[in-house]
Amino acid sequence: MKKIIYPLMLLVTLSFNLNFAVAANDKPKTELTAEQRLELNRITSRVEEIKSMDKSNLSKEERKELRKELKEMKKKAKAMGGGVYLSVGAIIIIILLLILIL
């Protein structure tokens, strides 16, 4: 009986997860324009500059402003769509498939 139930439960679980994964990937990916690449490079260089700064001698307000600036730049970079993101469900499915295949 267990030999039938476990594969059936696995099949049902995987089918639900695959449906959600397909629905989440409906947004088409576009290439970055030259202006967007320049903006992304500017954001990257500013972030590196902030990381290399000595923040120990800054006041509380200045550190707050830096954090706010970093958050805004992160939102802009994310809006430009740089990167591939995997959900936890997708990672679990990939691991299970690898285990089953190997």
Q: What spatial distance separates the first Cα and last Cα of the chain, rounded to whole Å?
A: 25
**pLDDT per residue as tens digits for the range 41-59:** 888 898 899 888 888 888 9
Tokens 């267990």 belong to residue: 2
- Lowest average pLDDT, out of 5-9, 44-48, 82-86, goes to 82-86
Structural domain containing residue 30: 2-101
- pLDDT score recorded for residue 68: 93
**pLDDT per residue as tens digits for the range 25-40:** 545 556 767 888 888 8
Rg over alpha carbons for the chain, rounded to the nearest Å, is 22
pLDDT, the chain, mean: 78
Residues in the chain: 102
- pLDDT score recorded for residue 35: 84
Tokens 């707050």 belong to residue: 64
- Which is more confident, 22 or 38? 38
Count of the separate structural domains present in the chain:
1
Q: What angle do CA 29, 31, 39 make, to 5 degrees?
A: 120
